[in-house]
Amino acid sequence: MNPNAQHLWNLGEPFAAGLLEYADGPLPMTYCRAYRRYYETCPLVYRADAPLFPAGCTEPAHDWDPGHSDRYAKQTMCVVPAYARQYDVHWDKLEQKSQRAAEIMREYNARYHYAGNWNHSMLNYKRILAEGINAYEARLLAKRESDFRTALLDLIEGIRTYHRRALEKLPEMGAPQELIDALQTVPFFPAKTAYEALVSLNFCLSLDGWDNVGRLDDILAPYHKGEDLRPALRCLYQSMQENDRWSITLGPDYNEVTRQALEASVGMARPLIELRVTKEMPEDLWQLAAKRILESSGQPAFYNEEIIQKRFLERIPYMPPEDAHEFAGAGCTETNFAGLTYAGGTDDNINVLQIFEKYMHEKLPTTPTFEAFYENFNILLREKQDEQMATINDDWNERAKTCFAPIRSLFVDDCIDKETGWFQGGARYTFSIHSDSGIPNTIDSLLAIRHLVYEEKRYTPERFLELLAAEDPAFFAELKTCPAYGVGDVRCDNLAHDLTERFYAHYRTGKLDLGIGFFPTAHQFRRHIWLGRGVGPTPDGRHANMPEADSLAAVNGKATRGPTVMLASAARYEQKDILGMAVTNLSITRKYKPEVIRALVEGYFASGGTQLQITATDKDTLLAAKSDPDSHRDLIVRVGGYSEYFHKLDGAIQDAVIARTLFE
């Protein structure tokens, strides 16, 4: 090791030492050596008697994540791998360890670290289980000599060391012999049983930071012979939850594992469960899914299989149907084709409501007709979209120069075949997923302006803006009576359709140097809270700095004619180009019967809806949970694309959930 790398190694910073071993060397070798050094020394996380290894929280907490400050305080390593941003540095702790180490890393960071867009993925677990890691090594050895080949072989050696360390320690850590026996085979050799398949999947999922599994029931089905996998599945889920990780997808090839996977998730906020719904989905699965919803789990979310497949094949005409069949959501819900994809998650966000607010104040007083006001706003939006797409393309090109994703370059097809890294375009399908916020609020704002200023002429543009800025109570009460999206008003829904059709279709014009193009998403995660803080009062009746809409459902309090009408309006929101995924939130009470939940899902999907996520609760319970979180620690709600324990949510997000329209 060179002196800088040796200094970091001596401090107990193996990942950082690995980064510095090659200093200015080839990018793949730099990152793969860092991962190897980490695997040679990282903690072996295991709970006695757990059916899987690792079991528990293996990825260090981020210092910017207040929900895991307890984990962060216990970490000894300050520079750690991170699947989305390559690595994280806990700068304050590193400086406490050594000022020299902090200076070394700051210099390296300035030259090589790209901390831009987030991303999610999933490895090709079906292939890993069927072939084993030894087969990946053999494929690399058959390739020509290159930095790419050398780097990934180095990575595999690091994984072997980690695996060997685990086998040596598991007996004294109280591991069952069945687990030890399974690890004698997997993940380096093919799995032969369903249990071995789960052990292999869990082990490799941990290598990827526990990000996403993909089509869990399809992965395990070839190995399943009727045994009860629920205890091992629950162990997998607990590790994903402790690591604050993401999703699994179930269906459309329903089997006994589908049922066990749903049953094992009772009481769990993670992983997020994405259920692909077909017209042939068995009745017992409908009953089980509805039961889970009514238990207030926020699980599963429902996906319209028929329409999603049709849209993918239309957007990527050269894609074989068998690849489209591998659809699985990653992160909250971002589109992936399992084991075949590099996609953003989420690359950027356009705050449509903020753009509208500025445009309204500048142009409303001087625009004579609503038609001109509306058309010019659409022109402005397209300009902002073009800027966004250019920025994303530049970001992706920069990341390709400065980052390498070792685990994903090894285990995502077709990186080895192309001898090209995951960030460099090696995956079979590469596309950007980016989001927008505030479109439902913007729709209702346009409707209020059309009604009060242009059609009824109750206010001059100047007076309208004056009362809006003052947040005049009487004026705001009037705004809430204006025509709105989500109540079955044909004119309102037609405007929503026209705006969203133009907006999302424009993304098809964008080009990526490293991929197919742009797949927009309409999910908010938590963005609708903090993005709303930068927007003043708007004509939809929203006060300054309040949250924006958290999905493509109606603005809170507007859906006064019930869930069926609201979903019919949501189906008019043009979703065909929202290929990153179009999220619709629905909050109901627990009084609903399972057959009504099924009718709502099937009716929405028959009208063209893409995705539906349902929270079953009541306002009194939510208010009680906010005031007394310790007595409601098992309460789970669905937010902008993901499920979470209510007590873990920021207070502003809790308030936004409480304020949702709740259908009795």
**Interatomic CA distance for residues 20 and 29, integer angstroms:** 11
Mean pLDDT of the chain: 92
Q: Which residue has the tokens 């997997």?
A: 186
**Interatomic CA distance for residues 244 and 536, integer angstroms:** 33
Q: Which residue has the tokens 């769990």?
A: 268
Nearest-CA neighbor of 567 among 547, 581, 539, 587? 587
**Interatomic CA distance for residues 286 and 277, integer angstroms:** 9
pLDDT at 155 over 60: yes
User: Each residue of 81-112: pLDDT tens digit?
Assistant: 988 878 888 999 999 999 999 999 999 888 87
220 by Cβ neighbours in 10 Å (0-12 / 13-18 / 19+) ranks as: buried
Nearest-CA neighbor of 502 among 364, 616, 381? 381
pLDDT at 68 over 60: no
DSSP 361-405: HHHGGG--SHHHHHHHHHHHHHHHHHHHHHHHHHHHHHHHHH---
Which two three-digit tokens encode residue 261? 């996977």
Q: Where are the beta strands (DSSP E) in 305-462?
A: 327-330, 334-337, 341-344, 349-351, 429-437
pLDDT at 74 over 70: no
User: Each residue of 481-537: pLDDT tens digit?
Assistant: 999 999 999 999 999 999 999 999 999 999 999 999 999 999 877 788 888 899 999
pLDDT at 296 over 80: no
Q: What is the pLDDT of residue 25?
A: 86
Q: Which residue has the tokens 């780097």?
A: 151
Query: Which DSSP category does 80 fall into?
Result: E
Q: 187-191, 411-415, 548-552 — which is least confidently predicted?
A: 548-552
Q: Contact, 384 vs 350, CB < 8 A?
A: yes
Whether the model pTM is above 0.85: yes
Q: What is the pLDDT of residue 111?
A: 80
Whether omega before 461 lies within 30 degrees of 0, making that bond cis, reads no
Q: How confident is the model at residue 244 (pLDDT cuts 50, 70, 90)?
A: confident
Task: Name the strand (E) or helix (H) holding 540.
Answer: none
Give Dmax (Cα) for the chain: 80
Cross-sheet strand order for the sheet of 272-277: 214-215, 247-250, 272-277, 301-304, 611-616, 585-588, 662-663
Higher pLDDT: 386 or 631? It is: 386
**Interatomic CA distance for residues 396 and 73, integer angstroms:** 33
**Interatomic CA distance for residues 360 and 375, integer angstroms:** 13
Q: 59-73, 251-265, 498-512 — which is least confidently predicted?
A: 59-73
User: Each residue of 174-191: pLDDT tens digit?
Assistant: 999 999 999 999 999 999
**Interatomic CA distance for residues 231 and 313, integer angstroms:** 38
Q: Where are the beta strands (DSSP E) in 107-193?
A: 119-120
Q: What is the pLDDT of residue 631?
A: 76
**Interatomic CA distance for residues 119 and 345, integer angstroms:** 4
Q: What is the pLDDT of residue 63?
A: 47
Residues 6+ apart with CB under 8 A from 384: 350, 355
**Interatomic CA distance for residues 348 and 336, integer angstroms:** 17
- Percent pLDDT > 90 in the chain is 77
User: Each residue of 359-408: pLDDT tens digit?
Assistant: 999 999 999 999 999 999 999 999 999 999 999 999 999 999 989 999 99
pLDDT at 23 over 80: no
DSSP bridge pairs for 471: none
457: left (phi over 0), alpha (psi -120 to 50) or beta: left
SS3 of 584-606: the string is CEEEECCCCCHHHHHHHHHHHHH
Q: What is the pLDDT of residue 221?
A: 98
User: Each residue of 187-219: pLDDT tens digit?
Assistant: 999 999 999 999 999 999 999 999 999 999 999
pLDDT at 66 over 50: no
Q: What is the pLDDT of residue 64?
A: 45
Higher pLDDT: 131 or 59? It is: 131
Higher pLDDT: 662 or 111? It is: 111
